[in-house]
């Protein structure tokens, strides 16, 4: 079973927890959990996935637990469930999605500005004047 399939299977039963799957010397997560880890830890999302080294796992689980989020660690056949009384998963998910959407909009603006500058050097000066005015 591929990691993403295992993630989806476990996530269906644990929608309010971060699911982390060990793969070699990294833990990986996908989808919304990846967006949350991106927001909290600054990890890059690549192909809808975030990964971090195993040696960061204890620290990351502690941070997530302190923020009020439960975590499920999967290491082969071993599954460890870090339960949390107060669950803030939805709160951090909402914040992370908003941040992700803003970042995507900024990225699209940067691409369009770059295209305009390449199309006509006069656009460079017009864009500079516009940015200086705000």
Q: Report if residue 17 sits inside a domain.
A: yes
Q: How confident is the model at residue 119 (pLDDT cuts 50, 70, 90)?
A: confident
The SS3 assignment for 27 reads strand
CATH number at residue 67: 3.40.1170.10
Residue 48 makes CB contacts below 8 A (sequence gap 6+) with: 30, 31, 34
The C-alpha atoms of residue 109 and residue 8 are separated, in whole angstroms, by 33
Do 54 and 103 belong together in one domain?
no
By the 8 A CB rule, do 18 and 30 touch?
A: no
pLDDT value for 134: 67
Q: Work out the angle at residue 85's Cα, subtended by the Cα atoms of residues 38 and 45, and round it to the nearest 5 degrees.
A: 10
pTM confidence score: 0.70
The C-alpha atoms of residue 85 and residue 83 are separated, in whole angstroms, by 7
Closest CA to 73 of 13, 9, 16, 7: 7
pLDDT value for 129: 73
Structural domains of the chain, count: 2
Q: Report if residue 92 sits inside a domain.
A: no
pLDDT at 24 over 80: yes
The C-alpha atoms of residue 101 and residue 82 are separated, in whole angstroms, by 29
Do 63 and 127 belong together in one domain?
no
pLDDT at 62 over 90: yes
Do 12 and 58 belong together in one domain?
yes
Mean pLDDT of 62-76: 91
pLDDT at 115 over 90: no
Do 78 and 104 belong together in one domain?
no
Of all residues in the chain, what percent carry a pLDDT higher than 90?
Answer: 33
Q: How confident is the model at residue 59 (pLDDT cuts 50, 70, 90)?
A: very high
Query: What range defines the domain where residue 18 resides?
Result: 3-82
């Amino acid at each position: 079973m591929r990691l993403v399939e295992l993630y989806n299977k476990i996530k269906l039963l644990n929608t309010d927890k971060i699911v982390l799957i060990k793969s070699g010397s990294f833990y990986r997560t996908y989808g919304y959990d990846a967006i949350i880890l991106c927001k909290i830890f600054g990890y890059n999302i690549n192909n809808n996935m975030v990964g971090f080294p195993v040696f960061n796992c204890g620290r990351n689980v502690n941070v997530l637990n302190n923020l009020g989020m439960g975590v499920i660690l999967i290491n082969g056949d071993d599954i460890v469930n870090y339960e949390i009384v107060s669950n803030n998963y939805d709160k951090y998910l909402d914040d992370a999605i908003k941040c992700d959407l803003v970042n995507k909009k900024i990225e699209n603006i940067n691409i369009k500005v770059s295209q305009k500058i390449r199309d006509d050097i006069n656009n460079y000066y017009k864009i500079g004047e516009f940015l200086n005015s705000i």
